[in-house]
Amino acid sequence: DTAVSQTPKYLVTQMGNDKSIKCEQNLGHDTMYWYKQDSKKFLKIMFSYNNKELIINETVPNRFSPKSPDKAHLNLHINSLELGDSAVYFCASSQQGLGYTFGSGTRLTVV
């Protein structure tokens, strides 16, 4: 059983399109996150949700809209994709800052 699973693993799309990435965790954690890893491998938090409530929004463009239907799911919808959105997006979950478990990543390529 995969603890944090995200789909799809790869996503290639044209500029201007809208796409979604899904994430699910079966660890019972209260908090879920989206991180972005750029081409230089730098990891930066985008959003965090605690029990379906938005906690952190790190000055991400409003083209990015996270949605958490329940505490086990955190999806990321991106409107009007731009070339600069190309990156690897990681979903993660944690329990009170003691353990963070990451998904295997979604490599988004905008052409």
Partner 1 sequence: AQSVTQLGSHVSVSEGALVLLRCNYSSSVPPYLFWYVQYPNQGLQLLLKYTSAATLVKGINGFEAEFKKSETSFHLTKPSAHMSDAAEYFCAVSDLNTDKLIFGTGTRLQVFP
Q: Which of 11, 33, 78, 87 binds partner 1 (CB under 8 A)?
A: 33
- Considering only the stretches 15-23, 63-71, 76-84, 95-103, report the one whose residues sit in contact with partner 1 under the rule CB under 8 A: 95-103
SS3 of residue 98 by DSSP: coil
Q: Determine, following the binding rule CB under 8 A, whether residue 50 of this chain makes contact with partner 1.
A: yes
Q: Are 53 and 104 in contact (CB under 8 A)?
A: no
Nearest C-alpha neighbor of 50 from the set 16, 101, 93: 93
Helices (H), the chain: none
Q: Determine, following the binding rule CB under 8 A, whether residue 64 of this chain makes contact with partner 1.
A: no
Here the tokens at position 81 are 């994709």
Q: Which of 56, 65, 77, 109 binds partner 1 (CB under 8 A)?
A: 56
Residues in touch with partner 1 (CB under 8 A): 31, 33, 40-45, 48, 50, 55-56, 90, 92, 94, 96-105
